[in-house]
Structure formats: structure tokens, C-alpha cells
Amino acid sequence: MKYFFILGQNPTLSSAEIVSLLSDKTKFLAVSPEALLLLTEKDQDVFDLMARLGGTIKIGTILNAFDDPRPEDIAENIPRVHGKKSYFGFSFYKIDDKLPLKNFQNKTQKIKKMAMAIKDILADTGAAARWVTSKEKNLSSVVVEKNKLLTEAGAELIFLIDEKKTYLGRTLAVQEFENLSFRDYSRPVRSMKVGLLPPKLAKIMINLANIDKSATILDPFLGLGTILGEAALMGYQNLTGSDINPEIIAGAKQNLEWLSKTYNLKLETYNLIESDVRHLGNKLPPRSVDAVITEPYLGPPMQGNETDEMIKKVVEELSALYLAAFREFKKILKSGGKIVIAFPVFHRKNENLFLPIIDEIKKIGFQAADLLPKEFTDFNFLKITKRGSTIYSRPDQKVMREIFIFRH
């Protein structure tokens, strides 16, 4: 079966996450900053995948491919349910990054102009239909969901366009946008001081670890428990969190209990420990953890007007803290264990300052693992740094995150 994935804001992380979950028995057909197309041997449970992925906005199947689609080709894929009005909408994505924008826009306009002809074709067969449009370039997940396009009488048709062909797909699932922001904003304990990891990024980081549901996950900078909470929702049962601050641990506990009640989870085996990460080896048994997944302490909040000296000091302190942490991870990780971690990247004048600790981390015994397979390295919109990481940033953040997977 051929599937398309419409990618979120960061195509590198979104693609890496999909590859990590689906690389077995999957052939990747195309990728662009907007979408990824793949062929799988087995049918996928798209709802399960959608609930699991943090960086994908829509998932659907490819129904057909045309040199130049005609109104009949499109009308044929709009469902008709006896006694019900049909709903259809269009979204257009470039699947070939090299396709000139002008050509893409021409093809898009041509298809949009067919909407009335399509309604007429449906009317001729006795089916009334409504064309759902929006002011945006494409229909958002919210518009798709709220306008019945995911019901049996509706279809969001996706046109994935390259130089030669137009692939026609139908959306089957969209990101659970309401649920994600509900979890982000409604949890009982929130604090801007601790810094809240967006649940979407937490999901991506968990998926990058690519571990079984029976695996033991540790977040040694637990904070308010976003990573452990998202892992619990994905079905992970063996969860350990530690933090230096007992008040923060109490907040994380409250958040996890709220999550467990709200989503009816069986959260029996989570374990929260008070510990400085630098002494974690004394608190947890050796080789007991499959994956460390964490956004560590990122330093004091930045205002943007810090002097070079101040930034240098923070970089030194964090470097020492993380290296001490990696020495502890080495003790408690099982062989083959992984670390998915977000390091801060500071911005100074016109340059980005990365923590200079990769050589030291290698000496401790960890290697940065590839975020994407070799076949993806030719696409220059997929941005992997020379040290094997990728950058995650949001306009509202002063400090960017550098995401790594380490193995030992």
C-alpha cells in the first residue's frame, strides 16, 4: 500500500521519526519539505500511527497517479452515501522540491477550477456535494476534521505534484490537534520557569529511540513529566524519572496522575526518584535502562542581551553537567541502549554556539547515530549537522534545541 505523510514544521525531524517507526519492509518513494511518500508491504493502522507520531499532520493513502487528472478522475474518488450530502476538499503539496513553483501553481489552479465540473458530475448521479475551501493555501487538520471530510460521506483529496505526475491521495487521519493542546495547556502543573517541552517534540524524541513497548525509559531531567507522560500514552509501561528538585517531582507526579485519570491509563510501574543526575549511578541498578530520553536543564532563562562572557560561562557549566550525566548513563544503560537528548544551541551575534562536548562524549563510549538513512542525505532541505544532530527551533524560543541520538 502507498501512503503519504504531510509533514509538520520540521521536515527533518518528521521524516526521521517516520523512518524510525516504519523502516522495516518499507520503501521510501519521495520526500519534500511538505510530504513523504512510501510503500509498505503490509497495510498500516493509520489511526495508531497518527496517534503515535508527533511531527506528521495528515496521513492517507495514494489512490492513483495521473499525467493530468480530469474532473471525472477526481469525482470518482468522492464518496457517495445514499441519502447524504457528500463533502470534498482539496489540498496540494509539492512532492518534488525541484519542481518550479510556477509549474506547481499552474497545476494547482487547473485542478481547483475543476471543482464546479466535479460537483456537476456528482449531481448527474443524484449526489449533492459541498466543496469545502479555506483561505489558507491548504486545508488545515482542523478544517478537515470540522467539515466532515473524514466521515464516510467526505473526502479530503490530496494532490502530490512532481514534474511528471500528479498523485491523488485521500486523507485518512489528521493530527489530534485538540488533544495535544489540551494536554499542553490543561495539565495541573505548568511552569514557565522549568520550561515546558511541547508534547509533539516529546513524542518525536520517544519515536526516535525506536524501542519496544516493554523497554525501560528514563528521563533524568524529569521536569514536569512531559516525556514520561507522552511515553505512557504511547503504551510504554516501564518509566523512570529523576530530578534534583523534590517540588518538581511532586508536580510531575500530579501531572502523571492527571494524565492517567484523564486518559484512563494503567500507569502502575512508573518510578520517580530524587537525584542529581551526577549521582544517578548510585540510585539505579547497573545496565537497567533501555533508553534515556530527555531534555536536560538548559541553563538560566535567556533574555537575548547576555554578554559573551555570560554565555561562555553557561556553555562551560552545561558542558560539565552533561558530560557528568553521560558518565552516569554509561553505567545504567543496557548494552545497545540509546540516548535521545536535546542540547541547547545559543545564539551570539551572527553565529550559533554548539556545546563543544562531542569528542568527550565519544571518549565516554557513545557515538552519534544517524538520524536519517543514507538515501535521504541528498535532499538538502533535510538538515543534519556535521556532528549528526538536527536543530529544532520555534519562533518563540530564545534557545534552540539540538536533537541527537547516541548509541554505545
Ligand X SMILES: C[S@@+](CC[C@H](N)C(=O)[O-])C[C@H]1O[C@@H](n2cnc3c(N)ncnc32)[C@H](O)[C@@H]1O
Binding-site ranges for ligand X (CB under 6 A): 194-197, 221, 223-227, 243-245, 248, 276-278, 295, 297-298, 321
Q: Which is nearer to ligand X, 310 or 321 (CB)?
A: 321
Q: Which residue is nearest to ligand X (CB)?
A: 223
Three-state DSSP at 219 gives strand
- Minimum CB separation of residue 204 from ligand X in Å reads 13
The residues with which 155 forms a beta bridge, in sequence order, are: 88
- Minimum CB separation of residue 153 from ligand X in Å reads 41
Phi, psi angles (nearest 5°) of residue 291: -150, 130
- Give which of 112, 36, 122, 131 is closest to 79, Cα–Cα: 122
Measured CA to CA, the distance from residue 197 to residue 227 in angstroms comes to 8
Q: Which is nearer to ligand X, 246 or 373 (CB)?
A: 246
Measured CA to CA, the distance from residue 9 to residue 229 in angstroms comes to 23
C-alpha cell at 47: 489511526
CB atoms within 10 A of CB 27: 11
Cβ atoms of 55 and 46 within 8 Å: the answer is no
- Minimum CB separation of residue 16 from ligand X in Å reads 19
Q: Which is nearer to ligand X, 191 or 367 (CB)?
A: 191
Q: Which is nearer to ligand X, 89 or 229 (CB)?
A: 229
Residue 376 gets which letter from DSSP? G
Three-state DSSP at 365 gives coil
- Minimum CB separation of residue 266 from ligand X in Å reads 22
Q: Which is nearer to ligand X, 121 or 197 (CB)?
A: 197
Query: For the chain, what's the residue count?
Result: 408
- Minimum CB separation of residue 180 from ligand X in Å reads 14
Q: Which is nearer to ligand X, 150 or 248 (CB)?
A: 248
What are the helix and strand counts (H, E) for the chain?
Answer: 12, 17
- Minimum CB separation of residue 355 from ligand X in Å reads 15
- Minimum CB separation of residue 72 from ligand X in Å reads 51
- Give which of 201, 196, 178, 160 is closest to 53, Cα–Cα: 201
H helix or E strand, kind and range, residue 299: none
Q: Which is nearer to ligand X, 38 or 399 (CB)?
A: 399
- Minimum CB separation of residue 159 from ligand X in Å reads 38
The identity of residue 374, as a single letter, is: K
- Minimum CB separation of residue 302 from ligand X in Å reads 13
The residues with which 37 forms a beta bridge, in sequence order, are: 4, 30
C-alpha cell at 311: 554565555
Q: Which is nearer to ligand X, 19 or 277 (CB)?
A: 277
Measured CA to CA, the distance from residue 175 to residue 164 in angstroms comes to 30
Question: CA angle at residue 286 from 280 to 290, to 5 degrees?
Answer: 90
H helix or E strand, kind and range, residue 381: none
C-alpha cell at 386: 556535521
